[in-house]
Amino acid sequence: MAKKNAETSQQTQIMDKLVSLCKRRGFIFQSSEIYGGINACWDYGPLGVELKNNIKQAWWRAMVYERDDIEGLDASVLMHPKVWEASGHVENFTDPLVDCKSCKLRFRADQIPEENLKLKKCPECGGELTEPRKFNLMFKTFMGPVEDEAHIVYLRPETAQGIYVNFENVYVSMRRKIPFGIAQIGKAFRNEITPGNFIFRMREFEQMEMQFFVRPGTDMEWFEIWKEERYKWYLRIGIKPEKLRFHKHGPDELAHYASAAYDIQFEFPFGWQELEGIHNRTDYDLSRHQQYSGKDLSYYDDEIKQKYIPYIIETSAGCDRTLLAVLVNAYDEEDTGKEIRTVLRLHPFLAPIKAAVLPLVNRENMPEIAWEIYKSLKPHFKVFYDDSGSIGRRYRRQDEIGTPFCFTVDSQTLQDGTVTVRDRDTMKQERIHKSEVLDFLKEKIKF
């Protein structure tokens, strides 16, 4: 028990250190912090937005640019309210909610101890709990100046429906034949009752989703293909294999639209949690939208001379969760013999800043040479110029934010034009000519 408690304490400390680093170094800030903040909403700072954009680029490159069977889409956040009736969100997108009559706290009924629920006893204060009631997670708003039932619209709780309602638009305009996919990255909104664990569960978040349309009967074959493809992508962005696993959904876990589902899970400091879901959604979505809209969404397959409603294999990843997993995976504390070095061992493509350019001292023309190198790199990469403090302190600052390379201009540069290249992970140094710095980075910063 003592060992388990020590491990739990250590994991909590890691999260605390990571959250502190994120604020201190400009990755992630509490939303509206000067007003006391707003629960489960976060702002991405200068380094955070770079890291997030790099993750999205890595996903888009793998899903759209490197394949010839997927198109991109950017659908509207606001959609016709009938969309959410057809999708089942109005009826099924609910959590069981209970309130404490004494302390007024709210809980998801399925996340409090069964004994408390049975006795109607608050797990916090011991007060009486209300009966469970359904709570829809969609945010409501009104379109137009009149606020009544006829003008209700919803902030989308997922990006997938925008893909389904554009299925015909995409395959006709792009002359696509099944099998093919539609990919989208975008914001989604869920009025979560119990958000938490930093950016793991938020009320406003970003999804990276791809819906792959296939011929019925080939669906499980494609399901297995996409399960493996998506797992390999996490390895590709540098996630350690021992931190990843598949979780198969049992009959009691399957969503109402799915015939098969797996989660790709990551071992966070707070336990194994879902990063991405891969689902066989059968023909549920297009059939429902055909039924509710009256629009024929069937597809004529020239190859087999048949018309059918396509089956859909979905890959649905959380961008914010992926970012948190990347940070947890990369965070390291290393004893150098002189000090404890904090370093983010990020994949070079994901790193917010690709390189720092540092003059050893602010004299003897070193700053001018360093500035020239910095200016030559700036059109190609996000780079940083730093001439403040000791060189060791400057290295440590770059280690902490995950910068993979530092180029230092020193006295030897003045003699032969070479600069020192320091590797973040190994701290080893080599020398290259200043004219080779750009090509060196282009070679190293690949995905």
Number of structural domains the chain divides into: 3
Q: How confident is the model at residue 6 (pLDDT cuts 50, 70, 90)?
A: low
Amino acid at 428: K
- 191 or 298, which is more confident: 298
DSSP 317-385: EEHHHHHHHHHHHHEEEEE-SSSEEEEE---TTT-SS-EEEEESSS-TTHHHHHHHHHHHHTTTS-EEE
d(CA 50, CA 352): 5
For the residues of 204-236, what is the DSSP string, one character each?
Answer: EEEEEEEEEEE-TTSHHHHHHHHHHHHHHHHHH
Q: How confident is the model at residue 338 (pLDDT cuts 50, 70, 90)?
A: confident
Q: Is the domain of 312 the same as that of 404?
A: no
CATH code of the domain containing 61: 3.30.930.10
Give the count of beta carbons closer than 10 Å to the beta carbon of residue 366: 20
- The pLDDT score that the predictor gives to residue 2 is 54
- Do residue 374 and residue 271 come from a single domain? no
pLDDT band at 7 (very low <50, low <70, confident <90, very high): low
What does the pLDDT look like over 405-427, one tens digit per residue?
999 999 999 999 999 999 999 99
**Per residue in 83-105, pLDDT tens?**
999 998 888 777 788 989 999 88
Q: Which amino acid is at 236?
A: R
Same domain, yes or no, for 79 and 132? no
pLDDT at residue 93, rounded to an integer? 76
* 422 and 296 share one domain: no
User: In terms of domains, do 223 and 206 share one?
Assistant: yes
Residues with Cβ within 8 Å of 90's Cβ and at least 6 positions away in sequence, in order, are 84, 136, 138
Structural domain span for residue 121: 94-136
- Which pLDDT score, from 0 to 100, does residue 3 have? 53
Instruction: Determine the straight-line distance between the first and last CA of the chain, rounded to whole angstroms.
Output: 43
Q: How far apart are CA 35 and CA 404, in angstroms?
A: 36
CATH number at residue 382: 3.40.50.800
What pLDDT digit, counting tens, does each position of 349-376 carry? 999 999 999 999 999 999 999 999 999 9
Are residues 423 and 285 part of one domain? no
Element (H, E) at 173: helix 167-173
Residue pair 204/171 in contact by the 8 Å Cβ criterion: no
Query: What is residue 1's predicted lDDT score, i.e. its pLDDT?
Result: 56
Q: Does 424 lie in the same domain as 371?
A: yes
Query: Which residues touch 169 (CB under 8 Å, ≥6 apart)?
Result: none
**Quick one: what percent of the chain has pLDDT higher than 70?**
97
What's the pLDDT at 62? 98
Residue with tokens 């429906």: 161
Please count the other Cβ atoms lying within 10 Å of the Cβ belonging to residue 99.
Answer: 18
Edge-to-edge strands of the sheet including 429-433? 383-385, 355-359, 405-409, 418-423, 429-433
Same-domain pairing of 221 and 163 = yes
Domain assignment present for 348:
no
Contact 207/188 with Cβ under 8 angstroms? yes
Its pTM surpasses 0.85: yes
Residue 427 resides in a domain: yes
**Is there a single domain that holds both residue 154 and residue 130?**
no
